[in-house]
Amino acid sequence: MASEHDIAGDVGRQDTPRPVLRGVKHQLVNLWMDSLYLVVEYPSADVFETWAAGVTDLGGAKLYEGVPYEGYILRRGAHGYKLSVWDDDARLYVTDRVNDNLRGTKHEDEGMGVMLQLGPKWLRLWGEPFAEKALRENVLGQLMLFGIREPGQYPIRINRLDIALDVMGLDVASFSLDEWQRQWVGYAKPRTFHLSQRSGDLSGITIGSRKGNVSFTVYDKDAESRRDGDSRFWRSVWGVGEDEDIVVTRFEWSFRPYQAGFPGMRYLSEYTFEGFLGLLNYATERWGRLCIPGADANHKSRWALAPLWAELRAFIEEWSIHYEDTLRPHYDLKPDMKPAYLNSVAGWLAGLQARVGIETGTNGPASLAQALSFLYGEGHTFEAINRKAAEKWEVFSRWGGDRDG
């Protein structure tokens, strides 16, 4: 979740995953795995060496924007890995700090292997939480695409698994900070409240730490999707048009199954849909919940569920019963053409026209054609610009286009 400031009706469609209505306002429009981080205990550095051949400098600035290579995009590493390989929002993190290279040293058997990060777009297309066999096969297929031969022979740890539940018609700005502070009952306490810098309204809540076994966030998902440039995708998930005026609140639980030792969920080979539901039920029934304060403050575990939390539990129960009926909708994966980006482009062009006018001594700003001609004369030829455009198009095209689930 991208925080802005830290302080301490039936509008869906029939092919969205199990729309469930409560009254006339609140509608469940998404309940799915949102992120999956898998560590493959791969011992060799050959995969790292293969991809590292595509860059001349692992610390170079080009890796920030992305370097097209062999049909994929190379970027800087993260999570302790030196390099990452992107295929849409499936990302492989690689390093040469692996067991084969550490043999005979004091760090023997401390190799990092490779890490596969799968985002919401990949998981929507290939990662149905209720189809465990298909999920495992698709993960292995993705690893093979990244160059790992016979990935199924290596243990694959589930390091992190995020579950998102989106409710349309529910506005996080309407939540009471006081109620969440006083009425939250669980193993972790509300950690951070996020306020919108523009309006001052509540825009999110964080409970627990991302480094812990379980953490929880609540935030305005529609606002975040517009900031991140993936509003088209999420609106296709929710089943609403690009111009519809909506509000969507996301409830997101992040689990660390391997670290926590959750039974039957530490390795991908153990994953089941029952285990997926078990995590969600544990988080919403035992780890933490919003309640109505009772007379006995010393026995908060006996407090009744607050109406909001009772509604979330009803959504989960209804969705889990009918999961076999889930239909995958048509997803729009093209990057957003955000107004802020267009405003920036227009501003740069206007600035160039003004500067060229001053530089050439005209009585006003140069025309756009004169500005482009000046740019050409300074060595930024149309051929050079087209080459850069082709490189950027190759990067963006990895994310573009429509796909049917």
Per-residue pLDDT tens, the chain, 405 aa: give them: 544 444 443 333 333 333 333 444 899 999 999 999 999 999 999 999 999 999 988 888 889 889 999 989 999 999 999 999 999 999 999 999 999 999 999 999 999 999 999 999 999 999 988 899 999 999 999 999 999 999 999 999 999 999 999 999 999 999 999 999 999 999 999 989 998 888 888 999 999 998 999 999 999 999 999 999 899 999 999 999 989 999 999 999 999 999 999 988 999 999 999 999 999 999 999 999 999 998 776 678 889 999 999 999 999 999 988 544 333 334 455 555 656 556 667 777 888 888 888 888 888 888 888 888 888 888 888 787 777 677 666 655 554 444 443
Q: Dihedral through CA 282, CA 285, CA 289, CA 293, nearest 10?
A: -150
Spatial neighbors of 377 by CB under 8 A, at least 6 apart, are: none
Q: Contact at 8 Å (CB) between 156 and 239?
A: no
CA distance 71 to 143: 15
Measured CA to CA, the distance from residue 156 to residue 313 in angstroms comes to 31
Q: Six-digit token pair at 22?
A: 């409560």
Q: Count of alpha carbons within 13 Å of 209, Cβ hemisphere only?
A: 2
Distances (CA, A) of 6 to 54, 171, 196, 201, 205: 40, 19, 9, 12, 9
Whole-number Å distance between alpha carbons of 99 and 111 = 4
Q: What is the 3-state secondary structure (H, E, C) of 177-208?
A: HHHHHHHEEECCCEEEEEECCCCCCEEEEEEC
Instruction: Report which residue type is found at 163.
Output: I
Helix (H, G, I), strand (E, B) or coil at 265: coil
Q: Are 395 and 65 spatial neighbours (Cβ–Cβ below 8 Å)?
A: yes
In whole angstroms, what is the distance from residue 87 CA to residue 125 CA? 13
| Residue carrying the six token digits 């409240």 | 193
